[in-house]
Every structure is written in C-alpha cells, then in structure tokens.
A and B are shown apart, each in its own frame.
Chain A
C-alpha cells in the first residue's frame, strides 16, 4: 500500500482537469402521459387492496384454496337429505384439512398418488370396510372404479376420534355423486374395538 500513502496531487489533477462540470439537474416537467399512467396504476392498487384485504383478518392466510373450496364450492355440497347435517358439515371441514391434499377437494383423486372417492365402490359399499381403511390405513394393489392403484394410505385411528372418523365417513359417502348412508359414532366405535390389536395397514385382499 506504499503507493497509497502519498497522494500524487499532480497526477490527480490530470484526471480531474479533464472532468466535465459537476452534474446539475434540468427542469423539464414530468410528461402528462406519465402522470396519467401513474394515476391508473394507483387506482389499480386501491382496487387490488380492497379486493384481497380479507378484511384484515389475521387468521386468514394468503391463498387458502383447499379449505375455501370445500366450504363453498357447489360440487362438494353433501346430499344431506338422509344424513345428519351437522356431522356431515364437520366431516367436510376435516376432509379439507386431512384428506383433500391427496384425494382432492373434488373427490376425484390424484393420478399416481390417491384413488378417487367420488364413485368409488370402496366408499359407497359396506361402511364397516371403509371404516377399517380410515382407522388402520391401506397398502398394496387395489382396483378402484375399474382402475388399478398401488399406493399407501396412512392410518388415522391414532390421530382422529371416533366422532371425527364418523363425520369424515359420512361426508365422503354423501358428497359429490355418492349417495350412500351416513355412519354413526357407535358404528366406528364397534369397528375400532373389534380390531383393537390391529396395527398394520389393510390390504385389498384382507378387506
């Protein structure tokens, strides 16, 4: 750094001597078109803010698609004529939080991941069988609505109460085009007690 210690004033002058004047600003006005563009932009900003402010609800997360779809969209309206309306509604909420990520809010399933529930004979058939699947899970090859599947469904028995399982079952059996009956708390309790020592998931053959 020895060269930096003593500024060579003469050399500095050479570089600064050829410099242009220190910069100043002209006084041209802002063009009218630009002002107009800014006004439009700010108007859009106001509209967008009002459209997506979620009423400043701190509990409402950004872009909550699953929950809103289940709660509001018509295809998931359950056929509640023959069911317990409150239980089915609770089931719809649980479905949105725990099942829809794989089986989708539409109940159509996700190719390569999870089979459809809408129109599935496994859902609308014997409720005892469906209850066992939800409680203990399901693994291995299975045919659903004429299509082969091979995946794994987790067990929910440990994390959901009998009432919650009953609600979800009631929802999926009456939602979309399904029109089977609801499932009661007692039905689920009976199945759970009957298979209390079961820990492995079911296979299609066992069912």
Chain B
C-alpha cells in the first residue's frame, strides 16, 4: 500500500534526524526557562530599581544583556536549528547524515551559550548589542552552525525530490546566510577591521538580519510546512511564495540601517534602510495573503489542533509586526518612538508573537513523531497557549501605548525628564505582569516536553486535541 510505504519513508527520515533534533529542541526549552527568569528580573528592575541591586552581576545592564543572548542564541537559535534539521530530511526525502557530529555541535552549542552568558554576567560583555559574546565564543558558535549547515546542505545535495518546496528555499537560504552574517559581523567588529560609523552600521546590519535572515526564514519554513500538513490542502499559490521569498532576499539585507535614523551616519545610507524597510511590505503581504487563502474554510480546526493554533497566531503576528516595523522605520515615526519602550514592544512581538509562537507550533507537531508519545495533557497545552497569547498581547499593547506617550513627552521641552520616567512606570509594571504570564506558559510547556522525552507521556496513537474534531477526518496534531 502506497500510503503505508510513504509513512514508513517519513518514519525513516524522522529517525535519521531524531537524536540531534531532540537534543537541540530540548536544550532550547531549558534556555527558554533561563531566559525567562533573566527577563523577569530585568523587567522588575525597571520599575523597582532597588530589587536585587547589591551585586554587580545582578544589575540591569548584565541581566538584560544575559536575557537577550540566552533567548537569542539559546532558545531561538537552538529551536530554529532543531526545526531546520527535522524539516530538511522531510523536504529533501534524504535521511540526515553526520548525526554524531550534529549531536556534538548541540552539546558544544550549549556549552558556548552557557560560557557566553557567564561572561556577560561577570562583566566580559563586548557591549555591542546582539554580539555581546566574546569573540572566541562567537567563533565556536560559527563552527557549530557550519556543522549544521553542512549536514543540511549535504541532505539537499542528495535530495530525492524534483521540485524544491517553498519551505526548503528558506531553509537553504538560512544555511548560507547566517554563517556569513555572523562571521562577518564578529570579525569586522571584534576583529578590529571596522571602527566608528562603519562599526555601528555593521552592528545594526547584523542585528536586524538575525531577525530577517535567520529566524524569519525558519519560522516561515515552519508555517509553510505545518499549515498545509495539518489542514490537508495545498498552499494557495506557488507564485505568491516565490514573490515573498525573493522580495525578502532582495530587501531585508538593507533594512537594518533604520536603527540609526537621526544618528551621525550618512543620510543616504539611512534613506536606503528606510526604503528597504517599506519594501518589506511586499513579502509580508504575499505571505499573509497566502496564509489566509490557505486557511480559508479551515479556521474551525484552530479549535482542536495545538500546532495549528500556535502557527496561525504566529503567522498573524508576522503580518502585524512586519507592517508595524515598516512604518516605524519612517523618519517621522522614529522621531517620536525611537529610543522608547515602543521599540521594545515591537521587538518582542517579532521574536515572541511571531517567531517563538511559530516554534511552539513546530514542537507540538514534531515531538510526537520523534518520541512516539502523545502530548500528556490538553490542559497544559491550553495553559501554554493562553498564557503566551495573553502575555504577549498585554506586553505589546502596554509598551506600544507607553512608548508613544514616552516619545511625545520626551519631545516636549517643557516636561522635566523625571516626569517622563514617572509616566512610564505603570506601563513597565504591566510589562512585568505580562512577563510573568509568559513564564507560566513556558513552565507549562516545559512540563509537557519533559514528560514527552522522559517517556512519561502516553503512547496511545491518537493525537492530543484541544477540542473534539467536528469532522470525521483524523488529521494530525
């Protein structure tokens, strides 16, 4: 029977990548918990400055930096690599090779991120945002990522498919883009090749590209895979996918300079960054439209499928955060909201509402196939989803409103600076509560994942659904 053969092929592909993928995915969850704790401490300090203020390593400058790096290089990057290593064999139909090496890379990755976070906490941060790890640690991470890229490109080379599906375009691009980005930025900035204005421009070129040319492509690859997989129909349009991919590849790389609006950098360079940011509306529109047209008529499945619920939430956040980002880049907008909490809200809607939620959706789809277990509890999944969704919504709305207010007050020369600080307090308190909700979500998620990998979850063979399916078809969780 062809269907059985196909299932056996998928099981073989899943089996080939099982150990490294699980290692990356489990490590990522640990870093998510570490990052959440650091985030909460940093957040509380902004409205209660006396909290944990007596030790150098617990001060805001180190907590906030350690948070950023543990969630960026621990949670986000390791989750992204795990999902990538699972998707590549499925999309190429070629079993993954070099899994021992990949497992080594996963362990080394954990060690390097841990060393980097300790370096930051003990005062050895390079103080270049998004590149705070000392150069030797960054070089180690580059090698680890090169191993990942090598294994992925090797599978691509041995592919058993004629047509390369859209998800695989994005994944292939990431495997080429990210090592180049990370190496160039680190060598250029920490290796002493660049100084002054060029250093700042390279810094933001890199930092923004982490979002656009690393986490975004992997999240979109997940969206393009999980969405049709769960609802059982093709992606609406190949041509929209095509425009979306190439527009991202063409424009994103230029966009980072909008971070330097109003700064002492050449005006033309900032202008190019702003135009590229606005042009990002093109790929975002195509992805959002493609997602909506694919989902049309299947929205009822959101009631039952955990994967779909997270993935669709993430896809919608992508449309919102990207459109917001395009207009935020404009000089008139920047004049008000640049250097306010507004930017922080925007960044979290992107990294959390979009990327992290997409990864959660990926976990809910992938882990049953790799562990042979079902998710232990629909209630835990519900707690995870609602605390995450509610948390990020409050987070975003509070900092967006608070940021606009802060920006307008800062522009008014008649308002003393301390009054501006006072005005942000309620919004920052709301952000801490939102952060607490997100942490609760992560704990629920971590409990589920732990039960899956420790073999405590049921192996009954039917998916854990959030509600009874209305239709008779089984579908995938």
Contacts and interface: CB of A to CB of B under 8 A. Distances in A.
A34 B228 contact: no
B18 interface: yes
B10 A16 contact: yes
A14 B370 CA distance: 11
B461 A49 contact: no
Most buried by B among A19, A24, A41, A54: A19
Contacts of A22: 90, 165, 229
B271 A49 contact: yes
B297 interface: no
Interface in A30-79: 30-31, 34, 37-38, 41-42, 44-45, 48-49, 52-64
Contacts of B416: 112
Contacts of A112: 413-414, 416
A22 B240 CA distance: 19
A4 interface: yes
B228 A24 contact: yes
A149 B219 CA distance: 58
Nearest to A12: B11
B112 to A, nearest CB: 20
Contacts of A54: 266-268, 271
A48 B274 contact: yes
Contacts of B370: 12
A13 B461 CA distance: 9
Contacts of B260: 62
B237 A26 contact: yes
A111 to B, nearest CB: 6
A128 B152 CA distance: 78
Contact of B293 (A11, A16, A28): A28
Contacts of B229: 19-20, 22-23
A31 B236 CA distance: 12
Nearest to A51: B271
A82 interface: no
Contacts of B272: 49
Contacts of A4: 18-19, 22, 371, 453
A15 interface: yes
Categorize the interface residue count of chain A: 35 or more
Interface residues of B, number: 74
A29 B229 CA distance: 22
Given A34-B285, A34-B286, A23 B266 contact: no
Given A11-B459, A25-B165, A34-B289, A62 B266 contact: yes
Contacts of B15: 7, 9, 12
B165 A37 contact: no
A3 B453 contact: yes
B262 interface: yes
A12 B369 contact: yes
Contacts of A16: 7, 10-11, 14, 369
B379 interface: no
Contacts of B368: 15
B261 A62 contact: yes
A53 to B, nearest CB: 5
Contact of A30 (B240, B261, B331, B455): B240
A23 B234 contact: yes
B35 interface: no
Contact of B266 (A37, A49, A61): A61
A107 B153 CA distance: 64
Contact of B235 (A8, A26, A61): A26
Contact of B228 (A23, A37, A55, A64): A23
Contacts of A30: 237, 239-240, 243, 286
Given A7-B372, A18-B474, A58 B7 contact: no
Contact of A62 (B241, B263, B475): B263
B236 A28 contact: yes
A22 B165 CA distance: 10
Contacts of B285: 34, 37-38
Nearest to A2: B455
A61 B372 CA distance: 59
Contact of A44 (B19, B270, B278): B278
Most buried by B among A28, A56, A111: A28
A63 B454 contact: no
Given A3-B454, A48-B274, A24 B268 contact: no
Interface of B: 4, 7-8, 10-11, 14-15, 18-19, 22, 90, 165-167, 224-225, 227-232, 234-241, 243, 260-272, 274-275, 278-279, 281-282, 285-286, 289, 293, 331, 368-373, 413-414, 416, 453-455, 459, 461-463, 474-476
26 contacts: A3-B371, A7-B14, A12-B11, A12-B372, A13-B8, A15-B461, A15-B463, A18-B474, A18-B476, A20-B230, A20-B232, A21-B232, A23-B165, A24-B165, A26-B236, A27-B237, A29-B237, A38-B282, A41-B281, A41-B282, A49-B275, A53-B271, A54-B268, A61-B264, A62-B261, A62-B264
Given A56-B266, A57-B268, 19 more contacts: A7-B15, A8-B372, A11-B459, A13-B8, A15-B368, A19-B476, A22-B165, A23-B228, A27-B237, A27-B238, A28-B239, A30-B237, A41-B281, A41-B282, A48-B275, A49-B272, A52-B331, A62-B260, A62-B266
